[in-house]
Structure 1
Amino acid sequence: MSEEPPVRRARHLMDPSKPRPPVRQEDIQRLERVQKWVLSILIVTTILHLSVGVGLAAQYVEEDAVVAGIGLSVLASAFGVIAVASGLAVHKRNIASPWLLLGVVPGLVSLYLVLR
């Protein structure tokens, strides 16, 4: 009698003789931390793009409608503050933070360029 060699399983299939190791709690926490950072970066960059876009739109307002340019600059600041607050909220930080001042920067730059 000849012995047949053991059948090799493909690597992507489960091997009943070698079960997966149990998932550790620190691995789950690490994954959740990375997911939070990815989500917050996506949210903040998306809303900041909107803020900068509104600030750029303020530069193309007619010269006799300066009030409209100022209004768009205020909107750019508001969207910037919302972007920073959203990032803080994802990380469950206090939203009333000095970091919110960073959100005002696109609006201030736009306002400077409108009034220049």
Structure 2
Amino acid sequence: MNDVTDDLPQAPRRARHLMDPNAPQRDTINSAGTTRVQKWVMSTLVVTTILHLAGGLLVAAWFIEPDQTAPRVGLSVIAGAFGVLAVAAGLAIHKRPLVTPWLLLGLLPMVVGLVLFV
């Protein structure tokens, strides 16, 4: 028999099917997957909120009298500006370059407004 191993106290055996509070824990708050999901959720919320504002401007332009073209065009242009801001905000959250062809997608509310009201 080996006297060296007999002198050491035996650690209690842990049941593997139970939760072990002494087990090392991973940092799930700052993990790469959590950060990626947070970015996508935040950019989705920001972009859809700003696009709803642009859509609201187009709805407001819809209720202006048809013979008043200037306010309708003005609201359509403002809706396009907010659309560009929405795309730029989404790009900024993902730390992408802001000056890209994707900004042209933000002009879609303005194009829709001009087609409907002019």
> Structure 1 length as normaliser, TM-score?
0.78
- 1:79 aligned to which of 79, 82, 94: 82
For structure 1, which runs of at least 5 residues remain unmatched after alignment? 1-10
Cα offset for 1:20?
Answer: 4.1
The equivalent residue for 1:109 is: 112
For structure 2, the 5+ residue unaligned runs are 1-17
User: Are the aligned partners of 1:47 and 1:80 in contact in 2 as well (CA < 8 Å)?
Assistant: yes
Give the Cα separation in 2 of the matches to 1:107 and 1:114. Answer: 10
Q: Deviations over 1:59-96 (max 9, x none)?
A: 21112310000000000000000000000000000010
Q: Secondary structure at the match of 2:58?
A: helix
Q: How many residues align?
A: 100
Match of 2:41 in 1: 38
Structure 2 residue matching 1:63: 3-state secondary structure:
coil
Partner in structure 2 of residue 90 of structure 1: 93
Question: Aligned partners of 1:20 and 1:59: how far apart in 2?
Answer: 62
**Displacement after TM superposition at 1:112 (Å):** 0.8
Equivalent of 2:25 in 22, 25, 28? 22
CA RMSD of aligned residues (A): 1.9
Identity of aligned residues (%): 49
Choose the corresponding residue for 1:67, options 56, 70, 83: 70
CA separation of 1:37/1:59 partners in 2, compared to 1, >3 Å: closer, same or farther?
same
Shift of residue 24 of structure 1?
A: 5.3
Whole-Å separation in 2 of the counterparts to 1:106 and 1:73:
7
